[in-house]
Amino acid sequence: MEKILEVENLHVTFNTYGGTVQAVRGVDFHLNKGETLAIVGESGCGKSVTSNAIMRLIPDPPGKITNGAILFKGKDLAKYSEKKMRSIRGVDISMIFQDPMTALNPTLTIGTQLMEGLRAHRKVSGNKAKEKAIEMMDLVGISNPEERLKQYPHQFSGGMRQRIVIAIALICEPDLLIADEPTTALDVTIQAQILELFEKIQESTGVSIILITHDLGVVAKIADRIAVMYAGKIIETGTKREIFYDPQHPYTKGLLNSVPRLDLKEERLTPIDGTPPDLFSPPAGCPFTARCPFAMEVCNKVYPADSEITGSHKVNCWLQDERAKQLLATII
């Protein structure tokens, strides 16, 4: 499969009065052309920082990409100037944020906002831009598009506004769409409609999608592959089937046990006890040690390497690494 994005050893820090927060600590993953990769984890695990780093939207200062490569179609975005990134954002890579209300300008018509990016980046005529805007409104399921282009955001419901935000993100036909919690602000029915819309759009445009979410229900619906993040690291990756039916990392198992399942009638939900480590001074070893019921001496001291479960499934946990015993003998 052709890879459209490869993130290698990405590190992002934030300088604060209290010290330096190591928000993303050596993240590696890739995205294949035309697939949806979900990055999941609790809030503060670094998933949104990772997606903002891909867009080069980390405010510097206080933030900084301190190491790593972000290869988009083989070119390293981490090395691009701000000017060059401006020509990529919204054109080759687009991003959708959680709150559709703040993403839209209340003082401009929907049509103006839809056509803005197209006219700025693709240099098309007014008529062509209008034609494309109507086509996009159609694609995202908004009826009477010609009339509705003249309306303002407050004349649209929350779900409709999110459809507009998606249309704006896709109007320049980007190769990569990053959706950061795109359905969190919506009610459940509208959420389901928006997820269906993502599937339909991917089918018709072939866009590759990174979905950032804490919601495993959303992941189950549309992801092809899943990367689980914890304390600034990706601790397990696999296909949707592998992660849901054969999770290996105790944190992934904990996440799955803490969400309700419709197929199990009598089920006890088990929250994960404890809190993630302080990223001002993250531990040298596995960051899940303090919360993990299987933690061993070695876990606290050395970060576990990648263990391959299958060609598409890998995990960072000493339980899967037969060298744990030998290593323990050398460090005690």
Q: Which of 14, 97, 198, 288 binds ligand SF4 (CB under 6 A)?
A: 288
**Nearest distance, CB of residue 138 and ligand SF4, angstroms:** 48
Q: Which two tokens stand for residue 203?
A: 């089918």
User: CA 210 → CA 13, 132, 180, distances in Å?
Assistant: 22, 24, 8
**Helix axis angle, 158-170 to 126-139, nearest 10°:** 130
Q: Return the range that interacts with ligand SF4 (CB under 6 A); candidates 76-84, 117-125, 132-140, 311-319.
A: 311-319
Q: Give the DSSP letter of residue 83.
A: H
Residue 282 binding ligand SF4, by CB under 6 A = no
User: CA 239 → CA 35, 192, 198, distances in Å?
Assistant: 11, 22, 18
**Nearest distance, CB of residue 13 and ligand SF4, angstroms:** 23
Residue 328 binding ligand SF4, by CB under 6 A = no
Nearer to ligand SF4, 190 or 295 (CB): 295
Site string for ligand SF4, 201-230 (x = CB under 6 A): ------------------------------
Site string for ligand SF4, 240-279 (x = CB under 6 A): ---------xx-----------------------------
Q: How many CB atoms lie within 10 A of CB 69?
A: 16
Residue 292 binding ligand SF4, by CB under 6 A = yes
Residue 299 binding ligand SF4, by CB under 6 A = yes
Residue 159 binding ligand SF4, by CB under 6 A = no
| Pick from 245, 250, 271, 251: nearest CA to 259 | 271
Contacts of residue 33, defined as CB under 8 A and 6 or more positions apart, other chains included, come to: 1, 2, 3, 4, 175, 206, 208
**Nearest distance, CB of residue 295 and ligand SF4, angstroms:** 4
**Nearest distance, CB of residue 330 and ligand SF4, angstroms:** 17
**Which residue reads 């975005």 in tokens?**
77
Q: Which of 142, 228, 255, 286 binds ligand SF4 (CB under 6 A)?
A: 286
Cis peptide before 260 (omega within 30 of 0): no
| Pick from 136, 206, 203: nearest CA to 172 | 136
Nearer to ligand SF4, 175 or 242 (CB): 242
Residue 289 binding ligand SF4, by CB under 6 A = yes
Tell me how long the chain is: 332
Residues in contact with ligand SF4 by the rule CB under 6 A:
249-250, 286, 288-289, 292, 294-296, 299, 304, 317-319
